[in-house]
Structure formats: structure tokens, C-alpha cells
Amino acid sequence: MNQQEQFKKRIKETADALDVPEKTATIMMIAAASTLPPDVIRVLASLAKRQADDGVR
């Protein structure tokens, strides 16, 4: 399994675990892996979660 396949698998697992769309999980994972300040990551995660709650995919 190459790196891209592993990343896609992790996105799917994260989306399933959090019960959010894969697009939202991708945003959350990128935010978590970035060097952004924790406050910015929290805002991004909050926005991603709100989009998921609103049904945005």
C-alpha cells in the first residue's frame, strides 16, 4: 500500500470514527498536521464540524 492509499484509508477511518464526511475529515487532518497555532486549528475544526452538521460535503 503506497502513501496515498494509506492517507485515504486514514481519512476514511477518521470520517467514520467522527461520523463526518470524508471532505471534513480531510480538512481536520490537514489542520492537525499543519504548523498553525492551536487556536487556528480549533477554528478550522469547528468550521469543518459545523459544515458537516449542516450537511455540506
Contact 48, 18 (CB under 8 A): no
Residue ranges per domain, the chain? 3-54
Please list the pLDDT of the chain residue by residue as tens digits (57 residues). 788 888 889 889 988 888 888 888 888 888 777 777 878 877 877 887 787 777 765
- pLDDT reported for residue 50: 82
Amino acid at 50: R
Is the whole-model pTM more than 0.75?
A: no
Kindly write down the DSSP assignment for every residue of 1-57, as one continuous string. --HHHHHHHHHHHHHHHHT--HHHHHHHHHHHHS---HHHHHHHHHHHHHHHHHT--
Contact 50, 28 (CB under 8 A): no
The rounded distance, in Å, linking the Cα atoms of 43 and 57 is 18
- pLDDT reported for residue 34: 74
